[in-house]
């Protein structure tokens, strides 16, 4: 853990600082900033981290590549807010030297690799899902749209500057415990899953009339793989459609990430049909396999993020 904090603080030292009362409890109801969304390093296009934010917990899925270049995802389902006492131990000296009145928010947790039934299976057996602890990761947020992602997987450690991805003209404002607007289009940005098929899901970032959806699932061998809909367009109220791509790229532990080595191949298409703010259907046709799944916003803590 100390090694990860060292990465984060080393990158933070040049900053003038960004003060925030870290826990949502210290904000007026519905005003605490949310870090929910898809995060990336724009100079390393081809990988990213999707973050769901509820209460003082982040559920993060890291979309990257294995040693053979195949798509690989690692999950951090319980990244918790580091309390002020731990911050005092790990970094108050550095913060004091910079004249910071409060610490930037830091979330840390265990990384897991998961195996499970292939997306092409006729039925998803959640009892076949298995997880293996492979490391840990830390988010340090410099502001609502910038931060650091530091991680250790096995014997490999690294850190990356990240920003919130912007892919459409209209970017929603998200807050912890806010109220869904009562009129106009619903924003579907969140982590979506099927409760009786725990082990796979879809991360949705929603900006304007476009969804950026990343589907974390399993290939024919049971290995975790991900596919992406980078431009799912609105076709009607609550309905979105787009092409699905599978990417290959540099391994997560490559000395340098070369975005020129990322190659995306169209493998199918999918649609989202939402029947309300919290439920809908994810239908897809990939590699000749066609299926339809009922999905819901995943709830794991309270209050949830609301994006409008």
Share of residues in the chain with pLDDT > 70 (%): 86
pLDDT tens digits, 122-165: 999 999 999 999 999 999 999 999 999 999 999 999 999 999 99
Position 3 confidence tier, pLDDT thresholds 50, 70, 90: low
Q: How far apart are CA 303 and CA 301, in angstroms?
A: 6
Q: How far apart are CA 60 and CA 63, in angstroms?
A: 10
Residue 195, number of CB atoms within 10 A of its CB: 11
pLDDT tens digits, 16-66: 344 346 899 989 999 999 999 999 999 999 999 999 999 999 999 999 999
Q: Residue 98, Cα to own-chain centre: how many angstroms?
A: 30
Position 238 confidence tier, pLDDT thresholds 50, 70, 90: very high
Stated pTM of the model: 0.90
Q: How far apart are CA 87 and CA 93, in angstroms?
A: 10
181 pLDDT higher than 90: no
Closest to 247 measured CA to CA, from 224, 228, 268: 228
146-152 contact pairs (CB < 8 A, 24+) = 147/35, 147/39, 148/7, 148/8, 148/11, 148/12, 149/39, 149/49, 149/62, 150/4, 150/7, 150/8, 151/4, 151/62, 151/111, 152/3, 152/4
Q: Residue 244, Cα to own-chain centre: how many angstroms?
A: 18
211 pLDDT higher than 80: yes
pLDDT tens digits, 251-293: 999 999 999 999 999 999 999 999 999 999 999 999 999 999 9
Question: Are the C-beta atoms of residues 95 and 105 closer than 8 Å to each other?
Answer: no
Average pLDDT over residues 197-202: 98
């Amino acid at each position: 853990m100390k090694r990860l904090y060292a990465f984060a603080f080393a990158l933070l030292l040049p900053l003038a600082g960004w003060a925030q009362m870290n826990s949502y409890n210290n904000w007026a109801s519905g005003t605490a900033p949310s870090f929910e969304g898809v995060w990336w390093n724009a100079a390393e296009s081809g990988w990213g981290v999707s973050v769901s934010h509820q209460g003082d917990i982040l559920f993060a899925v890291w979309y990257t590549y294995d040693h053979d270049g195949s798509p690989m995802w690692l999950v951090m389902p319980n990244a918790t807010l580091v309390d002020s006492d731990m911050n005092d131990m790990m970094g108050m000296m550095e913060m004091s030297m910079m004249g910071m009145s409060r610490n930037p928010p830091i979330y840390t947790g265990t990384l897991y690799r998961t195996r499970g039934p292939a997306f092409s299976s006729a039925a998803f057996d959640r009892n076949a899902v298995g997880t293996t602890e492979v490391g840990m990761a830390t988010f340090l947020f410099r502001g609502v749209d910038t931060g650091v992602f530091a991680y250790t997987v096995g014997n490999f450690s690294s850190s990356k500057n990240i920003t919130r991805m912007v892919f459409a003209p209209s970017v929603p404002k998200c807050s912890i415990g806010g109220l869904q607007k009562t009129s106009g289009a619903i924003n579907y940005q969140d982590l979506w899953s099927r409760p009786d098929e725990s082990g796979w899901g879809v991360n949705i970032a929603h900006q304007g009339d476009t969804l950026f959806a990343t589907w974390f699932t399993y290939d024919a061998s049971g290995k975790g793989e991900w596919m992406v809909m980078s431009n799912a367009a609105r076709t009607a109220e609550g309905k979105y459609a787009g092409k699905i791509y599978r990417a290959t790229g540099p391994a997560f532990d490559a000395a340098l990430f070369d975005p020129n080595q990322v190659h995306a191949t169209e493998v199918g298409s999918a649609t989202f049909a939402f029947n309300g703010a919290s439920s809908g259907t994810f239908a897809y046709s990939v590699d000749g396999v066609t299926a339809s799944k009922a999905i819901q916003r995943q709830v794991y803590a309270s209050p949830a993020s609301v994006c409008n």
